[in-house]
Amino acid sequence: MGAAASAVRARRGDDLIRQALEILERRLRRPGEALGSPGTVRDYLKLRLAEMEREAFLVLFLDGQHRLLECAVLFYGSISQTTVHPREIVKLALAHNAAGVILAHNHPSGVVEQSPCDEMLTQEIKRALALVDVRVHDHFIVAGAAEPLSFAEKGLL
């Protein structure tokens, strides 16, 4: 019965996380509601990415008033890296008629610091999107329960 009870608790926890994500996403999509709160974005990204066992790269596509148009996990990788194609991000930004994006990925290792590769990739994506007038507002790294790292707050954008 211990294993069964544990499985039920895990399912309940997953259900709660799913419900919290739905609530946060509805708030982010509210007409006229801009992504003015970094705390809301951080909470959402932690719920989406913190417990993933392999790296995932997510993009929030925003309109001209910083309202959420779409949130998509575009790339999955291994436990320590993922391959990201800036061209695909540009294509989706144009498809959504996005004016801006927020980038995010997780570090399953639990280390919340950016790597030199993370910095180079962010600049590469920023340059590619600038060609089509799409602004990169931030890039977050999510690592377990730690506070997500913001490239914008660290002056890396």
pLDDT tens for 88-128 read 999 999 999 999 999 999 999 899 999 999 999 999 999 99
Which pLDDT belongs to residue 129? 98
Q: What beta strand segments (E) does the chain contain?
A: 56-62, 68-76, 100-106, 135-142, 149-150
- pLDDT higher at 53 or 37: 53
For 2-150, which CATH superfamily applies?
Cytidine Deaminase, domain 2 (3.40.140.10)
Q: What is the pTM of this model?
A: 0.81
Please name the residues in contact with 126: beta carbons below 8 A apart, sequence gap of 6 or more: 136, 157
- Which carries the bigger pLDDT value, residue 36 or residue 79? 79
Q: What are the residue boundaries of the structural domains of the chain, listed by start?
A: 2-150
Strand 135-142 vs strand 100-106: parallel, antiparallel, or unpaired?
Answer: parallel
* C-alpha to C-alpha distance for 150 and 142, rounded to whole angstroms: 9
Angstrom distance (rounded) from CA 54 to CA 10: 19
